[in-house]
Chain A
Amino acid sequence: MKQNTLSNKIKQYLMFGGVGTALFLCVVAVPFIYGLYLTLTSWDGVSASKPFVGFANFAAAFKDTTYWQAMGRTVIYSAFAVILINVVAFVLAYLVTSGIKGQNFFRAGFFVPNLIGGIVLGYVWKFVFNRAFVAIFNSTSLLSTPNGALFCLIFVSVWQYAGYMMLIYVAGFMSVSPDVKEAAMIDGCTPAQAMRNVTIPLMRSSFVQCIFLSITRCFVVYDVNLSLTKGEPFGSSVLAAMHVYNQAFTYKNYGLGQAEALILFLVCAIVGVTQVMIGKKGEVEA
């Protein structure tokens, strides 16, 4: 049996999976491990030597107050954005699956913001906030105050992602068989009760997935932050991902920046995984 020798198997693997594996190793696996090593050095990104400093970068990261301010801001931003994205997306999904005229047109329309990159969207909204809203409400721009800028970031993120999450909730609504709802109605449920006690519990996996996706996206948002507020006014709207970018590439603290990126990743992963675990616990099947 020539086919089953180890060298043949490896040859076959490399023929089909060689390029994919190599790219994965070069772009993801090796940089990830090298990144772990970088956190232990105080490299400035230019010089050839990478002085080994042990865990000093992590100690510095924990003492970096601007980093933790950015992190706190990111948590507030994410909390509001995640809740609002999902509320809006759920309502939209409910409306576009209720069987009214032109629902496919609406579905396609709400998805439009997702087609366009965060950079362009940020500039479009910057114009809307700075010019159009100022003209309508005859006031100063929201983007010029710290709280206003954060509010704008949340607002734009909700607008951007609601259409995407809506598609997942639409799939969830479609997966709940009308028979189950009908049975509930025959048993005397009002439509609202059927929604609360039958449809929503059956859609639990959609909720878990949408919330997970929106958490992981919001925690590392960068391009809308860059184009919409650029961290201004006075650095009051710098989110964690932007802080990491500046720390590494603007201030040339590569080791510290990498350590802060790693902490951001861990925080995001812990929040995301906890959410999924809590969500999965109560899943029911029809």
Chain B
Amino acid sequence: MTENERAARQKKISHAIMWIVLLVLFICFIAPFILVIINVFKTKADITSNPLALIGAHGFTFKNFPEAMQKMNFWRVFGNSLIITVCATVLTIVVSSMQAYVIVRNSRWKLCTLIFSLMIASMVIPFQVLMVPLVSVYGGTLGVLNHRITLILMHVGFSVSMAMFMFHGAIKTNIPLELEEAATIDGCSKWQTYWKIVFPLLKPTIATVAIINAMAYWNDYLLPSLVLTKKELYTIPIATQAFYGTYSTDIGLVMAALLLAMLPILILYVFLQRYIVQGVTAGAVKG
């Protein structure tokens, strides 16, 4: 056996070992989800007697799903989550990219640099420091809680700094000033230049910001739970928590509710998996 052959064989063996290790880890990572899926189709008694069995002693049941859907008011909370996530994401992109643009193009103006550094500094403040004053101002003094629009605007307010920072970097490095000057000479106003020239060129950053923020909004629990206390306004995380509080003993229903809470984003992930992983990586590395 030559040296090369031996090296190739060694590589093959080490790859096989790594592959097995990865597979085992992978199974550990998704095991909880698989357990939930198995148990959705079992009766309460079967889950209690053996949560690990593939099929319960009483066979398959599809009863849990419709019952959980109805008790959780699934389509309603799904709709709430969807409206809030979509509106807040679109608004975040529009608002923060515009602000980033004006800050980049006026970078020698002291006021702009001051606002920029204030917003960057604010990114370290955890939500816990802001929740009490938020509730006391918007709940007590102004009384505007329990509106979806309040939550949407708060979501945008919390993420505008980070999103603005990312657009700031993109505009600064990727959009040449000459391009805008050409547009101005051709008769575009600032507003037109922004929407027709600059904004379309920001597509990759828009995708990143959209993915990061949409995921954060969809999954957020603490802020929505403080803002939306009426049942008909619940989002999926709040509804899941409320559901668990009421039906925690009916474990079959709980399984169905948990699966329902996870399904929308998992289905989306199957189709957009590449973009989501790319977007999150880009966001994490730049952020």
Q: Which residues of A contact B (CB under 8 A)?
A: 9, 12-13, 15-17, 19-21, 23-24, 26-32, 34-35, 38, 43, 45, 92, 95-96, 98-102, 106-120, 123-125, 127-128, 131-132, 135-136, 159, 163-164, 167-168, 170-171, 209, 213, 216, 219-220, 222-223, 226-227, 241, 244-245, 248-249, 254, 257-258, 261-262, 264-265, 268-269, 272
Q: Are B258 and A113 in contact (CB under 8 A)?
A: no
Q: Which residue of A lies closest to B15 (CB)?
A: A100
Q: Which residues of B contact A96 (CB under 8 A)?
A: 22
Contact pick for A265, options B115, B128, B281, CB 8 Å: B128
Q: Which residues of B contact A159 (CB under 8 A)?
A: 29
With contact pairs A27-B154, A100-B19 given, residues A119 and B221 touching in the complex (Cβ less than 8 Å): yes
Q: Which residues of B contact A114 (CB under 8 A)?
A: 215, 280
Q: Which residue of A lies closest to B25 (CB)?
A: A92
Q: Are A35 and B35 in contact (CB under 8 A)?
A: no
A203 to chain B, nearest CB (A): 12
B258 to chain A, nearest CB (A): 6
With contact pairs A20-B96, A112-B33, A227-B244 given, residues A35 and B129 touching in the complex (Cβ less than 8 Å): yes
- Secondary structure at chain A's binding surface: helix, strand, loop or mixed? helix
Chain A CB within 8 A of B61 CB: no
Q: Which residues of A contact B22 (CB under 8 A)?
A: 95-96, 100, 106
Most buried by B among A16, A43, A264: A16
Tell me, in angstroms, the Cα distance from A140 to B215 when the chains sit together.
Answer: 36
Top-6 shortest CB links A-B:
A27-B157, A117-B219, A20-B99, A16-B102, A17-B99, A31-B133
Q: Which residues of B contact A20 (CB under 8 A)?
A: 95-96, 98-99, 160, 164
User: Which of B71-79, B134-142, B175-183 lies at the interface?
Assistant: B134-142
A/B interface sample: 23 pairs, CB < 8 A: A13-B102, A16-B101, A24-B122, A27-B130, A27-B157, A31-B130, A32-B130, A38-B132, A100-B15, A106-B26, A108-B269, A114-B215, A116-B262, A117-B237, A127-B36, A127-B251, A132-B51, A135-B52, A136-B52, A171-B281, A219-B126, A241-B128, A248-B131
Q: Which residues of B contact A227 (CB under 8 A)?
A: 241, 244
Tell me, in angstroms, the Cα distance from A261 to B266 when the chains sit together.
Answer: 34
Q: Which residues of A contact B221 (CB under 8 A)?
A: 117-119, 222-223, 226
Chain A CB within 8 A of B125 CB: yes
Q: Which residues of B contact A125 (CB under 8 A)?
A: 32
Tell me, in angstroms, the Cα distance from A120 to B81 when the chains sit together.
Answer: 15
Tell me, in angstroms, the Cα distance from A255 to B125 when the chains sit together.
Answer: 18
Q: Are A108 and B127 in contact (CB under 8 A)?
A: no
Tell me, in angstroms, the Cα distance from A21 to B102 when the chains sit together.
Answer: 12
Q: Are B132 and A261 in contact (CB under 8 A)?
A: yes
Chain A CB within 8 A of B57 CB: no
With A95-B22, A119-B241 already in contact, 6 other A-B pairs whose C-beta atoms are closer than 8 Å: A20-B164, A96-B22, A107-B277, A223-B222, A226-B241, A248-B132
Chain A CB within 8 A of B118 CB: yes
Q: Which residue of B lies closest to A259 (CB)?
A: B132
B115 to chain A, nearest CB (A): 6
Q: Are A128 and B32 in contact (CB under 8 A)?
A: yes
Tell me, in angstroms, the Cα distance from A28 to B194 when the chains sit together.
Answer: 27
Tell me, in angstroms, the Cα distance from A249 to B140 when the chains sit together.
Answer: 13
Q: Are B29 and A113 in contact (CB under 8 A)?
A: yes
Tell me, in angstroms, the Cα distance from A9 to B106 when the chains sit together.
Answer: 9
Chain A CB within 8 A of B119 CB: yes
Chain A CB within 8 A of B8 CB: no
Q: Are B96 and A268 in contact (CB under 8 A)?
A: no
Q: Which residues of A contact B255 (CB under 8 A)?
A: 127
Tell me, in angstroms, the Cα distance from A220 to B69 when the chains sit together.
Answer: 32
Tell me, in angstroms, the Cα distance from A23 to B153 when the chains sit together.
Answer: 7
Q: Which residue of B lies closest to A125 (CB)?
A: B32
Q: Are B129 and A32 in contact (CB under 8 A)?
A: yes
Tell me, in angstroms, the Cα distance from A178 to B21 when the chains sit together.
Answer: 24
Contact pick for A38, options B95, B136, B244, CB 8 Å: B136
Q: Which residues of B contact A254 (CB under 8 A)?
A: 132, 136
Within 8 A of A (CB), among B143-191: 153-154, 156-158, 160-161, 164, 190-191
With contact pairs A16-B194, A32-B125, A38-B132 given, residues A112 and B30 touching in the complex (Cβ less than 8 Å): yes
Chain A CB within 8 A of B228 CB: no
Q: Are B99 and A16 in contact (CB under 8 A)?
A: yes
A22 to chain B, nearest CB (A): 9
Q: Are B219 and A127 in contact (CB under 8 A)?
A: no
Q: Which residue of A lies closest to B223 (CB)?
A: A27
Chain A CB within 8 A of B117 CB: no
Q: Which residues of B contact A95 (CB under 8 A)?
A: 18, 21-22, 25
